Amino acid sequence: MEQERTAAPEGPQGPGGGRRYRWAKPVIVFLLIAIPAGYLYISAMQSRGGSESKKEQAAASGLEEGWPSRLQRRIYEVWIPPYSEDVAHYETNSWKASSLYVQFTTTRDGLQKFLARTGNDMGDLADGEVTIGEDEAAEVGWNLGAGHHWAGLELEHDKPQPSLEITANLDNPQYPKVYLVSTTTP
């Protein structure tokens, strides 16, 4: 008697026991390795020299229009008179010191109130004095050169209180423009 051979049914693996999808396993392993590696490479390239590029990018943008946040004003002990116009600010941070640059235009009364908040008055402003250094002014694009009526005041405080450099443009004494650099050191 001859036995009949019964052919094995062809299933999802097909004839040959799984050779049909043999390529899938290496592709999946490759993708599981390549995708995270690619992400890490891209992240590394973006952060390469990150602090320098971020500093350059921030410096390039210069002053930001608007009032500093309440937290910034509290940390740097900066008070801006109400109804001031042309308010702009810029903040720098480093391990050695952090500074907040602020400019605003106010009224003569507003300047007096601003100075009173620092414990001073109009008589404490040194006529013809620019207290903000050229390097600091260049950081934000301020031109505090000759040809204007300047008056300034510098306030040094013990740590942790910030030191203030205040320079006012009094070309229009009824609406002085105030430039301020408040610096804290840890």
Strands 98-105 vs 126-127: parallel, antiparallel or unpaired: unpaired
Bond preceding residue 36 cis, omega within 30 of 0: no
Q: Record the pTM.
A: 0.67
CA atoms of 51 and 64, how far apart (whole Å): 20
pLDDT in tens, the chain (186 residues): 555 555 555 555 555 555 677 888 888 888 888 888 877 888 777 766 555 555 555 555 588 999 999 999 999 999 999 999 999 999 998 888 899 999 999 999 999 999 999 999 999 999 999 999 999 999 899 999 888 999 999 998 888 889 999 999 999 999 999 999 999 987
The two structure tokens encoding residue 176: 């002085």
The DSSP code sequence of 13-43 is TTTTTSGGGTTHHHHHHHHHHHHHHHHHHHH
Q: What distance in Å separates the CA atoms of residue 97 and residue 183, rounded to the nearest whole number? A: 7
